[in-house]
Structure 1
């Protein structure tokens, strides 16, 4: 029997955050209750990649990334690229990352970040995998490195930039990941202006849970913890700003996620 409720794909969850330690399985089940059909678990290093793979192997319609976040770049061990390539052979792993550059905190030196990022871009190109991109205070260098790999597919995860940066990513053929940052009137004004230039065929919605709880949710959850079940709140804000219908947003965002991550699934309503 078909439902008239749209299906959603949450393209970004940090499920092995400590904030989910007490109820990880319940969080996934509650997302299913509001028609979050597929979810992508984000990995920040190879150890978390292995945890995500193991979890995905036991739960239908869950997928994950495998890679090294720029914060973790200084911690890679000898042979890490070969280990990453091995992880990327698992059918649940659909993207390389979270990878990129973060010159805001510099938990790893810029030189270490660039070396690790370039290695992951090369792996993604070689294996025809999407890249799951992080960037903070490093936009010009990140773009220059991406331009060395024309044709590479990927997503600008948790995009918080302005319209000029958005258009630059679009010109590279990338998808744009939109989170609850869009619901923050104090910090998100540039993003609110930028999404008016974002075509639906490049939109991908994500929560980045447990971070970035949409500030438009009322009443606010006591925990202040974001969850994949709150993805429709991000979509509602996108609809409010752009005038697109929720059904159209859900359909395009999910279809784009399935396309980018090379997942074969029913793209329509159940």
Structure 2
């Protein structure tokens, strides 16, 4: 695939070798792209152009703290293909305070913000105490109930407690997705029993720690499954070529879809089409409406 005029105008050579310039057979939604990361500062427009070339037509930019959420919302007003989330990641949960809560509430009122989060529990690293994490999570669940927005959730090594808390709140919430799901089969089915959506990343292709997902990823109903890169993190380990700098980006989402389709035993085109329908319904994205 040749470079588009947008790429040429950027004056920057694509970091993706030819073998990684894959085009999805159907438009894709990347539900988790950390485009406010410093690594995208110099080439964001070229990154978005490469995503468009790959048929990744819609991206949800993750806001995981106040600064990042504010930047994500601003980007989503500048680029038609972008939308934003706004929340506080559990790593930063100790920062939750009334002033931050009000700032998040105001962000949730912006048209460019389509979900509350990234919020949740992470007992793997405990950068904030479990008590602080639960306090910040419940405060953000209350904001989601107040606004009616869907939830963009993070969970690692905290599945049991997350299910308990969400179970208490579920009737007051609209939709919710556990993004970048990496847990076990029991945790997955617990989330499905709560009528949650599931996000899948390149973790599936990691033979060191993601291979277990291959055994039960087909258990996720098609109407509950969405796809994401979580870029610049979680670069798939089985790519057919190496990337200088090893930065993940939205243009590689078709590779994740290809992997996921293989382990689910379905066609790449079918999975691409269905995950996009699901994501647009979940985030209430209307192609014909302005932001």
TM-score by length of 1: 0.94
Per the alignment, residue 21 of structure 2 pairs with: none
* Distance of 2:265 and 2:166 partners within structure 1: 32
Per the alignment, residue 206 of structure 1 pairs with: 228
Per the alignment, residue 186 of structure 1 pairs with: 208
1:233 maps to which of 248, 255, 259: 255
Per the alignment, residue 20 of structure 1 pairs with: 40
Runs of 4+ more than 6 Å apart: none
Structure 1 residue 245 corresponds to structure 2 residue 267: yes
CA offsets, 1:65-120, max 9 Å, x none? 00100111112343222221110011110111100011121111111111110000
Per the alignment, residue 29 of structure 2 pairs with: 9
Deviates more, 1:224-233 or 1:181-190: 181-190
* Distance of 1:207 and 1:155 partners within structure 2: 15
3-state secondary structure, aligned to 1:97 = strand
- The unaligned stretches of length 5 or more in structure 2 are 1-23
Deviates more, 1:192-201 or 1:229-238: 192-201
CA RMSD of aligned residues (A): 1.4
Report the number of matched residues.
Answer: 263
* Distance of 1:36 and 1:96 partners within structure 2: 23
- The unaligned stretches of length 5 or more in structure 1 are none
Structure 1 position 162, deviation (Å): 1.6
Structure 1 position 200, deviation (Å): 1.2
Per the alignment, residue 279 of structure 2 pairs with: 257
Structure 1 position 14, deviation (Å): 0.6
Structure 1 position 47, deviation (Å): 1.3
CA contact (8 A) 1:216 1:233 kept: no
TM-score by length of 2: 0.87
* Distance of 1:86 and 1:80 partners within structure 2: 10
Q: How does 1:140-159 map to 2 (within 5 A)?
A: 140-151=160-171, 152=173, 153-159=175-181
Per the alignment, residue 81 of structure 2 pairs with: 61
Structure 1 residue 95 corresponds to structure 2 residue 79: no
* Distance of 1:143 and 1:174 partners within structure 2: 10
